[in-house]
Structure 1
Amino acid sequence: MRLLAPLPRLWSFAGLALALLFLPAAAMAAAPTQSFLQPMSATAQEQSAHLMRVIAVTMIVILPVLIGVPLILWRYRLRGAKAKYTPEWDYSGKLEWVLWGVPVLVIIVLAAWLWSFTSRLDPYEPVGQKPLQVQAIGLDWKWVFIYPEEGIATVDELALPVGRPVELTLTTDTVMQSMLIAPLTGQIYAMPGMTTKLNFAATRTGSAEGENTQFNGDSFGRQKFIVKALQPGQYAAWLSAVRGAPVLDDATYRVLRRRSVLAGARTDLGLSKQAIPIYFSAPDRSLFDRIVAKYHLSGDSGAVPALGGTGLPPKGGVSSR
């Protein structure tokens, strides 16, 4: 009887252990996807497959070392009967070919794969016909997304329909930044006065996390946004809801351009102080182009202050921010 008494307690511990094991999995299921190992596009699928191929090939070099070192230590131990004493041995042609030939072949294979992979996944190359046009503006410390064809804009939320190609055109209205949406596409830089592009298409519904990977100040770690891959019907409903939001004009944009995180920007705009996306309707279709162009104007141009300055030092040496 004394041996059976602890069994209920053991079952309780087992149940607690199982709960702790599955809680993180449940939490991860509810959180946005953050890794290309959980791909939501063909691009991320290729990246994941490429990583698996690289690991498999590099194991050709790594596994012999992991297995061979213990075997050599055992075979040539002090009292080993099979260990052959050869003090004059210093060269083996077969071993030289293996030691140099295998790594060279591995490097050649990896280089060929990388060349093919990089060429195939060119971020500037469209992935389909009639892509959804989205303009992304990096700020301190948030992202503004303008849908010129849809007549809407968002802050820190990028919604897109599953199956439709997306062409994302990026710039920044502050320092250089770097956008990464790992489950959907690769990383690319955004620079003031310049534009770069990302082309991708979601293959399944879900939410992913996008971020800036280029350090740009105190709240760098909070400059993240949500990407929602929706079914076409859900995307149409989302568009209808956003089109009823306030207008994004120059005055509103000047507020967004302040150095603040999402919750701070909402407070500045008279909204609730929550870290939830902001929606706008009817943005000026030339806003993105004017933001890019103002970095090519002289510092005394009247057009620069209209969009909140450039963040670049004027001729006098004092920052306009």
Structure 2
Amino acid sequence: MTSSKALRWFTSLYMLVLMLLITTGCTENIIVLNPKGPIAEQQRDLMLISTLLCSVVIVPVLILTAIIIWRYRDKKGRKAKYTPNWEHSTKLEAIWWGIPILIILTLAVITVQATYALEPSKPIESDKEPVTIQVTSLDWKWLFQYPDQGIATVNEIKLPKDVPIRFEITADSPMNSFWIPQLGGQMYAMSGMAMTLYLQADELGTYWGSGANYTGKDFAKMYFNVEATTQEEFEQWVNEIKAASPKLTLEGYKQLAEPSASEILSFSAFPEGLFEMTVTKYASSHNHGLSWKDIQKIQIEE
């Protein structure tokens, strides 16, 4: 009996220590809690505030549960007060209903405000012009087109620090989800649609990006690096690609779109309107009846 009791105490202590290590561990190792941009910072703060508010209810309930189980356990010589006719307490009812209601209302207000503030297509306030990157999800790779710079890459993004990035996202494959955890939340890539996502990197460095939707055999290989550089380094990188990389032709794109994994590639040019053609070919097949100009007009009106 003594060894069994000791084992229970050891197990309880172990679980408590494990929970403390998990909840108080260094957030540097959890990339969604280590933001490197303004959007990710606001999303991190929303997660932490929501967790703390929920803990106001969850932690006392867990503690009281342990106390009640221990105090009212079946044992000889128990001194806990026995009140079989007790059935109601207005004070207690007010506490265990009032506090959760206040927390839910607070969470509702915070969530609504954050939802509007973090609207993905809302431009980031900046005195710098945004850089546009057109993202196309393929099987099983990512194609990134820089329409203003006239270059394209596969499974690699470079962007200047402290400059808003306007991602235009679509798919020429099954639906996927474009995600750079340290810069912001994920955005679905869907055929026949052009989704808009604004992000920004505030620090120099290399960040991990990935597809966040299961899309088949080589889904696990759909990851890419995002390197935030200085403006000068970004322009130098663009010039190097223009000088040394081949052009992406329409036939080359059709081969690239075939289901297969890919290493990092770069192209000094790509067919004009390639992204728009990818969007509208599926829009037509879905009977959306929208041209690329129609899509842009709707986005502006929204």
Q: Same fold judged by TM-score > 0.5?
A: yes
Following the alignment from structure 2 to structure 1, what is the Cα–Cα distance between the partners of residues 273 and 94?
A: 63
Q: Which residue of 2 aligns with 1:285?
A: 272
Shift of 1:298: 6.7
Shift of 1:122: 0.7
Shift of 1:223: 0.9
Following the alignment from structure 1 to structure 2, what is the Cα–Cα distance between the partners of residues 70 and 297?
A: 61
8 Å CA contact 2:191–2:283 kept in 1: the answer is: no
- Asked if 1:242 is matched to 2:234, the reply is no
Q: Could you tell me which of 35, 46, 49 is aligned with 2:42? A: 46
Q: Secondary structure at the match of 1:104?
A: helix
Q: Greater helix percent: which structure?
A: 2
- Report matched runs for 1:299-318 at 5 Å: none
Deviations 1:39-93 (A, max 9, x none): 1101111111111111211111112122222333344354343x22211111111
| Structure 1: gaps (5+ residues) | 1-28, 263-274, 300-321
- Asked if 1:89 is matched to 2:86, the reply is yes
Q: Which residue of 2 aligns with 1:135?
A: 134
Following the alignment from structure 1 to structure 2, what is the Cα–Cα distance between the partners of residues 296 and 167?
A: 22
The one-letter code matched in structure 2 to 1:84 is K
Q: Aligned in 2, Cα 1:65/1:251: closer, same or farther, shift over 3 Å? A: same
Deviations 1:94-126 (A, max 9, x none): 111111111111111112111111110111001
Q: Which residue of 2 aligns with 1:101?
A: 98
Q: Aligned in 2, Cα 1:75/1:238: closer, same or farther, shift over 3 Å? A: same
Q: Which consecutive segments of 4 or more residues in structure 1 shift more than 3 A?
A: 73-78, 296-299
Between the aligned residues of both structures, percent identity stands at 36
The one-letter code matched in structure 2 to 1:97 is A
Following the alignment from structure 2 to structure 1, what is the Cα–Cα distance between the partners of residues 226 and 30?
A: 11
- Report matched runs for 1:113-262 at 5 Å: 113-128=110-125, 129-244=128-243, 245-262=245-262
Q: Secondary structure at the match of 1:243?
A: helix
Shift of 1:291: 1.6
Shift of 1:285: 2.8
Q: Aligned in 2, Cα 1:74/1:165: closer, same or farther, shift over 3 Å? A: same
8 Å CA contact 1:249–1:283 kept in 2: the answer is: yes
Q: Secondary structure at the match of 2:69?
A: helix
Deviations 1:4-57 (A, max 9, x none): xxxxxxxxxxxxxxxxxxxxxxxxx9xxx8722111101111111111111211
Shift of 1:169: 0.4
8 Å CA contact 2:193–2:283 kept in 1: the answer is: no
How many residues were matched structurally?
255
Following the alignment from structure 2 to structure 1, what is the Cα–Cα distance between the partners of residues 45 and 97?
A: 27
Following the alignment from structure 1 to structure 2, what is the Cα–Cα distance between the partners of residues 199 and 239?
A: 21
8 Å CA contact 1:185–1:198 kept in 2: the answer is: no
- CA RMSD across the alignment: 2.0
The one-letter code matched in structure 1 to 2:256 is L
Following the alignment from structure 1 to structure 2, what is the Cα–Cα distance between the partners of residues 70 and 213?
A: 39
8 Å CA contact 1:34–1:208 kept in 2: the answer is: no
Following the alignment from structure 1 to structure 2, what is the Cα–Cα distance between the partners of residues 148 and 42?
A: 24
Q: Secondary structure at the match of 1:186?
A: strand
TM-score (norm 2): 0.79
The one-letter code matched in structure 2 to 1:286 is G
Deviations 1:203-249 (A, max 9, x none): 00111121111221111121111111112122122112111210111
Q: Secondary structure at the match of 2:162?
A: coil
Deviations 1:275-302 (A, max 9, x none): 3x10001222311111222224579xxx
Q: Secondary structure at the match of 1:217?
A: coil
8 Å CA contact 1:34–1:209 kept in 2: the answer is: no
TM-score (norm 1): 0.75
Q: Which residue of 1 aligns with 2:58?
A: 62
8 Å CA contact 1:41–1:201 kept in 2: the answer is: yes
> Between Structure 1 and Structure 2, whose CA radius of gyration is higher?
1
The one-letter code matched in structure 1 to 2:121 is Y
Following the alignment from structure 1 to structure 2, what is the Cα–Cα distance between the partners of residues 298 and 207?
A: 38
| Structure 2: gaps (5+ residues) | 1-27, 287-302
Following the alignment from structure 1 to structure 2, what is the Cα–Cα distance between the partners of residues 202 and 148?
A: 20
The one-letter code matched in structure 1 to 2:108 is A
Following the alignment from structure 1 to structure 2, what is the Cα–Cα distance between the partners of residues 74 and 147?
A: 64
